[in-house]
Amino acid sequence: MLILWSVIKEVFLPGAAGAVAAIAALKYLSSKFVEQQLSKDLEKHKTELSQRTESLKTQLSIYAHEQNVATSRVDGQKAEAIKNVYSAIRGWINPTTIIISGCPLVNASEENEFQFYSKTAEEAHAAAKKLADVLADHAIYFDEETYRELYEMSIICLEATAYFLRPIRRDIAEGRQVSGSLNAIQIEKNKLSGTWENKLLPINSRMTIKFRAILNISKA
C-alpha cells in the first residue's frame, strides 16, 4: 500500500484537480488489493479444505475397511459356529437313525444284535452330550429364538438316547438274558423313532433352512 500511495502522489497530486482522481485511484487500487488478498485467502482456504477433505476421506476409508474386516471376521466366526453345531447335530442323527432302522446284520445272533444296539446307543448318547457342549460354546453367535430351538433339540436328543440306553446298561449291570433285553430295546426303539419323526426331524428341517438362509446358500 505504501508503494501504491507513492505512485499516486507522483502521478495524481501535482495538480489540485488531481486530488479527486487520486482519491478515486486510491479507492480503486485498495479495492483491487483487497480482492487480491481475498482471492489468495480463498485459494489458501480451498487448498486447506481440499487437504482436510482428502485426509477425512482417507480416515473414513480406513474406518470402512476396518468395519468390513470386523464384519467379515464376525461373519466367518458365525459360519464356523453354524458348521460346528450342524456337524454335532449330524453326529447325533447318524447313529440314532441307524438304531431306528434296525440291526444291519443279516441272521445276526441275539448277542450280536444286542452288542450292536449297545454300541450304537452309546455313540448316540455321547453325540448328544457333545451337541449340548458345542451349542453352549457357540451360543453367542445365534439369536435368541434360534438358540432356544437348538437348545430344545439338544435336550430332546439327550433324553431320547438316555431313555433308550437305560435298559441296556441296566441289563448289562444285572447280567440279564439277552433275549429279554432285546424285547425292551424294541419297545424303546419304537419310542425313539416316534421322538425323531414327531419332534426332532421337524426341528432339524427348520434349522437346516435357517442355517442356509444365514449363510446365503440356496438349495439346488
Instruction: Specify the pLDDT at position 4.
Output: 52
Angle formed at CA 103 by CA 97 and CA 105, multiple of 5 degrees: 135
How many angstroms separate the CA atoms of 195 and 124, rounded?
A: 14
- Tens of pLDDT, residues 184-219: 899 999 999 999 999 999 999 999 999 999 888 765
- Tens of pLDDT, residues 75-84: 788 999 999 9
How many angstroms separate the CA atoms of 39 and 33, rounded?
A: 10
How many angstroms separate the CA atoms of 79 and 141, rounded?
A: 9
1 or 86: whose pLDDT is higher? 86
- Assess contact for 92 and 142: CB atoms under 8 A: no
- Assess contact for 153 and 204: CB atoms under 8 A: yes
Asked if pLDDT for residue 16 goes beyond 60, the answer is no
Span of 49-58, 61-70, 94-103 with lowest mean pLDDT: 61-70
If you count them, how many residues does the chain have?
Answer: 220
Find, among 37, 1, 147, the residue nearest to 81 by Cα. 147
* Alpha helix (H) residue ranges in the chain: 2-12, 18-101, 110-137, 144-174, 178-195, 201-214
pTM here is 0.67
Instruction: Specify the pLDDT at position 199.
Output: 95
How many angstroms separate the CA atoms of 15 and 88, rounded?
A: 107
Q: Could you identify the residue written with the cell 429364538?
A: 145
Q: What is the DSSP letter of 15?
A: S
Residues 6+ apart with CB under 8 A from 203: 149, 152, 153, 156
How many angstroms separate the CA atoms of 181 and 172, rounded?
A: 9
